[in-house]
Amino acid sequence: MTDQYRKIALNNLEKLYGALPEDLDLRMGAERNHDEFVFQAFGEACRITRQDIILGQESASGVLGILISLYALHAASAPVEVEPLKSFKEFPNSMPYVGAFSSHTESVLVPHVERIQKNAEIILSIFNGREASASTSGDFSFIVFPLPKIALCYVFYREDDEFPASAICLYSKNANRFLPMDALADVGEYTSKKIIQLAES
């Protein structure tokens, strides 16, 4: 992590372990090993300890470390409710982040729609995802889990003679139970970045 990001994430860990909930594993959708917690985050194995957040084989860097620490701090006992799906702007207090969300989470995917469809199976396997229900609009769509209790549904439209390609990102109904809105917007952005990386690899 950069020094500033690392400082924020470690401060969040200090708060977490200073008043560690007995059922934190259940709240996060994680497995507990003594005072460590293991789960999938942004398509990789993640381990939270008192001293660090390990994502894959390394310390979680940058914004991802902060997002994971915030997810642990805001963990709630409520189960994830995927449907009915909600657009980002439907959540309370989302308005300050809507513009950046649209640009960094949705528009950024448009040049990659064909490659995303071609590599959808890989993307779903990495994110513990699945195809969206038949009632979901779009030329193709799928649901992924960047964090155990936060689901994102991506809906894609391929370019045709009348319209350009487009992409929409929807959230599980109660995603805002598990993260504040600014962090929830960042979850969309960093999930889209990972999807692009997988599609173009």
pLDDT of residue 136: 87
Alpha-carbon gap, residue 99 to 70, rounded angstroms: 22
Segment 10-26 shows an average pLDDT of 96
Find the distance separating the first CA and the last CA of the chain, reported in whole Å.
Answer: 24
Q: What is the average pLDDT value for the chain, to the nearest integer? A: 96
Q: Where are the domains of the chain?
A: 3-73, 86-200
Report DSSP letters for 123-159, one per residue: HHHHTT-EEPPTTS-SSEEEEEEEETTEEEEEEEE--
pLDDT in tens, 95-153: 999 999 999 999 999 999 999 999 999 999 999 999 998 888 899 999 999 999 999 99
What the block records as the tokens of 128 is 């513990």
Whether 12 has a pLDDT exceeding 50, the answer reads: yes
Give Cα 126 distance to the centre of its chain. 12
pLDDT in tens, 150-182: 999 999 999 998 899 999 999 999 999 999 999
> Could you tell me what percent of the chain has a pLDDT over 70?
99
The pTM score is 0.95
> Exposure of 166 by Cβ count < 10 A (0-12 exposed, 13-18 middle, 19+ buried)?
middle
pLDDT of residue 201: 87
Q: Which residues contact 53 (CB under 8 A, 6 or more apart)?
A: 9, 13, 46, 47, 59, 60, 65, 68, 69
Q: Which amino acid is at 107?
A: S
pLDDT of residue 1: 45
pLDDT in tens, 54-94: 999 999 989 999 999 999 999 999 999 999 999 999 999 99
Alpha-carbon gap, residue 153 to 151, rounded angstroms: 7
Mapped onto helix, strand or coil, the DSSP state of residue 160 is coil
